[in-house]
């Protein structure tokens, strides 16, 4: 039975977009089905379907609310000025007091964190913040003036309010350098909760004919899979399925069409996460390109499945979790992807070793059972100390 307590989750993301892409994860906002009542507070105008969102809080009674949007607050507070932000957030917080929350969870350190801090200050309840990106790295990728300006304003929110959190939960180790720069010590790595019921372990490493390779992720400059496509173009008896969309999608499709590869390379713009996780084990290999200092859910899932993963060495510091024991690491070159794919095709022992090691490591670190229990333990500890 769920704990008879109430959770407030404050979100800046547009949940409707996540639902539309099929990225619904059971109990994502209520790990372990720990709370009996969950209030999702959106700092935007999003109004996701209540029945569809229900899966993301398990059996808890779900309520959805909207407060001042990030953009509106930016204008009203003259660029998220702290004094003005605190004033408006106190007004928003008063509306939330009547729900009598026992704990506040913020996903990300944006305007939602300032609201979470206002609630904590008044009610003296635990505030937990999960971080899903390294903000310093994210700012490096802000290219135009407006994005850089907004990013710098957001940095002030991070500096003003992150220290007020009872505990910070980075979802992977590459976020830790950012926390250390801010001299924050109250953190603990908690990997993203991934699909708790649909991951199916790979047990058979015999190859399909043609060999089936899959790549999952949003398609843009830092995650451009073109070199994987070009490698597949040179390897007979192989197919590549690319799941995802993005600004580079049409460019990639045009390349495939122009080079007569439509019978080798297949595009799926979106796929329900349940279906993706259930079918990953039916592929032979997973290949991806990313320059981000992260470990995304789209990589965690095939690793937990035991699908041999090919991933590039990123420019700069490497992601600690993505070792050569569980990933086939390559340079982001056509020749390197080609060599890796051919090597894994020709060596069954290598495929088995890579896949089984990935399952072993993943099951200990980021299996849904492990991650959900860890969140519940943290909730219990914070509630007992409040």
pLDDT tens, 323-344? Answer: 999 999 999 999 999 999 999 9
What CA–CA distance (Å, rounded) separates 69 from 64?
14
Q: Summarize the confidence of residues 143-153 as an average pLDDT.
A: 80
Average predicted confidence (pLDDT) for the chain: 94
pLDDT of residue 33: 95
User: What would the two tokens of residue 245 be?
Assistant: 């969309």
- For residue 107, the surrounding DSSP H or E stretch is strand 103-107
In the chain, pLDDT over 90 holds for what percent of residues? 89
Indicate if the pLDDT at residue 247 is higher than 80: yes
Least confident of 143-147, 180-184, 203-207, 278-282: 143-147
Distance CA 193, CA 171 (A): 9
Report residue 184 as tokens: 């924050």
Domain at 211-365, CATH homologous superfamily = Glycogen Phosphorylase B; (3.40.50.2000)
CA dist 278 and 280 (Å) reads 6
pLDDT of amino acid 44? 94
Residue whose entry in the numeric block shows the structure tokens 């949007």: 69
Average pLDDT over residues 129-137: 94
pLDDT of 321 higher than 90: yes
The mean pLDDT value for 101-118 works out to 96
**Neighbouring residues of 140: CB distance < 8 A, sequence distance ≥ 6:** none
- Alpha-carbon distance of 305 to 202, in angstroms, equals 6
CB 9 within 8 A of CB 39: yes
- Is 76 or 147 the better-scoring residue by pLDDT? 76
Question: pLDDT-derived band of residue 282, with 50, 70 and 90 as boundaries?
Answer: very high
Say if residues 281 and 307 touch (Cβ distance below 8 Å): yes
Return the ∠ at Cα 28 (arms to 180 and 151), rounded to 5°.
40
DSSP 9: E
Question: Among the listed ranges 138-152, 191-205, 309-323, which one has the minimum average pLDDT value?
Answer: 138-152
Average pLDDT over residues 91-119: 94
Mean pLDDT throughout 151-163? 92
Of the listed ranges 87-91, 260-264, 325-329, 339-343, the one predicted with least confidence: 87-91
Other C-beta atoms closer than 10 Å to the C-beta of 17 total 11
Fold for 3-194+367-385, please state it.
Answer: Rossmann fold (3.40.50)
Return the beta strands (E) in 145-250 as ranges. Answer: 167-170, 211-216, 238-243
pLDDT of 21: 86
Given this model, what pLDDT does residue 142 score? 67
Domain positions in the chain: 3-194+367-385, 211-365
- Residue 158: its pLDDT value, please? 94
Q: Which residues of 148-174 are buried (b: 16+ CB within 10 A; e: fewer)?
A: eebeeebeebbebbbeebbbbbbbbbb
User: What CA–CA distance (Å, rounded) separates 68 from 77?
Assistant: 11
Q: Phi first, then psi: what are they for 134, rounded to 5°?
A: -85, 110
Mean pLDDT of 215-231: 97
CA atoms within 13 A on the CB side of 262: 5
Put residue 327 in one of left, alpha, beta given phi > 0 → left and psi -120 to 50 → alpha. beta
Q: Do domains 3-194+367-385 and 211-365 have the same CATH topology?
A: yes
């Amino acid at each position: 039975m769920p704990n008879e307590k109430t959770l407030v989750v404050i979100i800046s993301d547009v949940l409707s977009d996540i639902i539309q892409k099929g990225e619904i994860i059971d109990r994502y906002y209520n790990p372990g089905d720990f709370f009996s009542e969950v209030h999702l507070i959106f700092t935007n105008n999003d109004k996701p379907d209540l029945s569809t969102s229900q899966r993301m809080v398990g059996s808890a009674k779900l309520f959805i609310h909207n407060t001042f949007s990030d953009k509106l607050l930016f204008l009203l507070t003259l660029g998220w000025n702290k004094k003005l932000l605190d004033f408006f957030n106190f007004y928003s917080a008063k509306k939330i007091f009547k729900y009598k929350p026992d704990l506040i969870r913020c996903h990300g350190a944006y305007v939602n964190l300032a609201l979470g801090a206002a609630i904590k200050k008044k009610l003296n309840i635990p505030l937990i913040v999960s971080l899903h990106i390294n903000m310093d790295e994210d700012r490096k990728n802000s290219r135009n003036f407006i994005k850089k300006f907004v990013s710098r304003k957001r940095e002030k929110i991070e500096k003003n309010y992150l220290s007020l959190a009872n505990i910070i939960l980075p979802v992977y180790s590459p976020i830790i350098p950012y926390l250390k720069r801010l001299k924050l010590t109250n953190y603990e790595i908690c990997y993203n909760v991934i699909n708790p019921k649909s991951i199916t372990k790979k047990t058979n490493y015999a190859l399909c004919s043609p060999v089936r390779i899959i790549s999952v992720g949003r398609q843009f400059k830092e995650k451009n899979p073109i070199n994987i496509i070009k490698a597949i173009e040179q390897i007979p008896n192989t197919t590549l399925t690319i799941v995802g969309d993005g600004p580079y999608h049409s460019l990639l499709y045009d390349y495939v069409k122009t080079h007569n590869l439509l019978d080798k390379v297949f595009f799926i713009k979106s796929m329900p996460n349940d279906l993706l996780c259930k079918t990953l084990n039916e592929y032979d290999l997973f290949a991806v390109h990313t320059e981000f200092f992260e470990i995304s859910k789209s990589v965690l899932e095939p690793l937990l499945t035991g699908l041999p993963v090919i991933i590039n060495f990123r420019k700069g510091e490497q992601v600690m979790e993505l070792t050569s024991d569980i990933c086939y690491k390559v340079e982001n070159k056509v020749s390197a992807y080609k060599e890796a794919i051919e090597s894994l095709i020709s060596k069954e022992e290598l495929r088995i070793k890579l896949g089984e090691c990935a399952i072993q490591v993943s099951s200990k670190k980021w299996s849904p059972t492990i991650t959900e229990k860890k969140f519940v333990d943290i909730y219990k500890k914070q509630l007992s100390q409040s």
